[in-house]
Amino acid sequence: MSSKKFEKTLETDVVIIGSGAGGACAAWGIANKGIDTLVIEKGDWLKDDTYDDDELHYYILKKGWPSIENEYSMADLYRGKESKERPHRMGQSYGCVGGGTIYYAGVSSRFYREDFEKYKIWGDIPGANLADWPKGFYEEIGPYYSQAEELIGVSGDYSNDYARFNQLNHRPRLLPPLPYHKIGERLNDAAKELGWNPFPIPLALNSIYNEKTNSNWCISSGMCSGYPCAWGAKNSVDQVVLSNLVDKPNFSILTNTLAAFAETDSKGNISGVVCINRSSKEKFFVKAKAVILACSGILSPLFCLNSQTKQHQNGLGNSNDLVGRNLMFHIEGQRGAQFDGDFGNEEFHNLKKVMVTDFYIPDQSDEFVNHMSIQMGSKSGPIRYVLSKVPEGWGRQYLKDMHKNYMQYHELQAMCEDLPQLSNRVTAADRKDVDGMPVAHIHHRFHKMDGLAFIKTMEKMEQWLQAGGGKMITGISSDMVEWKRLIDQGEDIPPMRRPYGYHLMGTLRMGDDPDRSVVNRYCQFHEVPNLFCVDSSIFPTSAGVNPTLTIQANALRVADKIINLSRSQWK
Amino acid sequence: MAKIISENKILNNKNLIRLIETLIPNVNDAPSGVEAGVQYYLVKALNAHRKNILPSYEVILKSLEIISKEFYKNTFWKLDDDHAEIVVSKVQVIESGAFESVRNLVFEGYFAHPRWRDGKGKSVWSAIGFRPILRNQDQFGEI
Ligand SMILES: Cc1cc2nc3c(=O)[nH]c(=O)nc-3n(C[C@H](O)[C@H](O)[C@H](O)COP(=O)(O)OP(=O)(O)OC[C@H]3O[C@@H](n4cnc5c(N)ncnc54)[C@H](O)[C@@H]3O)c2cc1C
Ligand code: SF4
pLDDT at A46: 82
- Residue A472: its H or E element: strand A470-474
With beta carbons less than 8 A apart as the criterion, state whether A320 and A405 touch: no
Q: What is the mean pLDDT of residues B67-76?
A: 98
pLDDT at B143: 38
Q: Does B96 touch chain A (CB under 8 A)?
A: no
Name residues whose C-beta falls within 8 Å of residue A215's C-beta, 6 or more positions apart in sequence: A153, A206, A209, A232, A233, A235, A239, A240
Give the ligand whose atoms come closest to the C-alpha of residue A262.
1
| Helix, strand counts (H, E) of chain B | 8, 0
Name residues whose C-beta falls within 8 Å of residue A153's C-beta, 6 or more positions apart in sequence: A175, A204, A206, A210, A212, A213, A215, A235, A240
At B100-122, the pLDDT tens digits run: 999 999 999 999 988 888 877 76
Per-residue pLDDT band for B38 (boundaries 50, 70, 90) equals very high
Q: Do B111 and A51 touch (CB under 8 A)?
A: no
Q: What is the mean pLDDT of residues B50-57?
A: 96
- Rounded to whole angstroms, the Cα distance separating A120 from A131 reads 8
Q: A444: which strand partners?
A: A76
pLDDT at A254: 97
pTM: 0.93
Residue by residue, DSSP assigns A207-265 as SS-BTTTTBPPP---S--TTS--TTS-B--HHHHTGGGTTT-TTEEEE-SEEEEEEEE-
CA of A511 to the centre of ligand 1 (A): 23
Name residues whose C-beta falls within 8 Å of residue A112's C-beta, 6 or more positions apart in sequence: A163, A164, A167, A357, A360, A361, A371, A543
Ligand 2 — pocket residues by CB below 6 A? Answer: A 205, 218-221, 224, 229, 231, 233-234, 350
Name residues whose C-beta falls within 8 Å of residue A453's C-beta, 6 or more positions apart in sequence: A331, A362, A366, A368, A370, A372, A416, A417
Q: How many Å lie between the alpha carbon of A459 and the closest alpha carbon of chain B?
A: 29
Q: Do A396 and B131 touch (CB under 8 A)?
A: no
Q: A283: which strand partners?
A: A276
Give the ligand whose atoms come closest to the C-alpha of residue A274.
1
With beta carbons less than 8 A apart as the criterion, state whether A255 and A23 touch: no
pLDDT at B117: 87
Chain centroid to CA A455: how far? 22
> Which residue in A180, A200, A243 sits closest to A48, CA to CA?
A243
Whether the predicted pLDDT of B45 surpasses 70? yes
pLDDT at A346: 56
Using a CB-CB cut-off of 8 Å, the residues of chain B touching A221 are: 131-133
pLDDT at A545: 96
pLDDT at A392: 81
> Which residue in B81, B40, B88, B96 sits closest to B65, CA to CA?
B88
Predicted ipTM of the assembly: 0.92
- Rounded to whole angstroms, the Cα distance separating A102 from A232 reads 10
Left (φ > 0), alpha (ψ -120 to 50) or beta: where does A181 sit? left
pLDDT at B137: 52
Q: A44: which strand partners?
A: A96
pLDDT at A76: 46
Which has more confidence, B129 or A194? A194
Name residues whose C-beta falls within 8 Å of residue A243's C-beta, 6 or more positions apart in sequence: none
Q: How many Å lie between the alpha carbon of B9 and the closest alpha carbon of chain A?
A: 24
Q: Does A202 touch chain B (CB under 8 A)?
A: no
Per-residue pLDDT band for B142 (boundaries 50, 70, 90) equals very low
- Which pLDDT tens digits describe chain A residue by residue (571 residues)? 444 578 889 999 999 999 999 999 999 999 999 999 999 999 889 876 666 778 888 878 776 655 544 555 554 444 344 445 444 445 556 788 999 999 899 999 999 999 999 999 999 999 999 999 999 999 999 999 999 999 999 999 988 775 666 667 777 889 999 988 888 899 999 999 999 999 999 999 999 998 887 888 988 876 788 888 888 899 999 999 999 999 999 999 999 999 999 999 999 999 999 999 988 999 999 999 999 999 999 899 999 999 999 999 999 999 999 999 999 999 888 888 989 887 765 555 656 889 999 999 999 899 999 999 999 987 778 888 888 777 789 999 998 888 778 888 888 999 999 999 999 999 988 878 778 888 888 788 888 899 899 989 999 999 999 999 999 777 766 667 777 888 888 777 766 555 556 899 999 999 999 999 999 999 999 999 999 999 999 999 999 999 999 999 999 999 999 999 887 776 5
- Rounded to whole angstroms, the Cα distance separating A507 from A539 reads 8
> Which residue in A198, A258, A223, A256 sits closest to A385, CA to CA?
A223
Strands A354-356 and A470-474: unpaired
- Residue A272: its H or E element: strand A270-277
Positive or negative, the CA dihedral A193, A195, A199, A201 is: negative
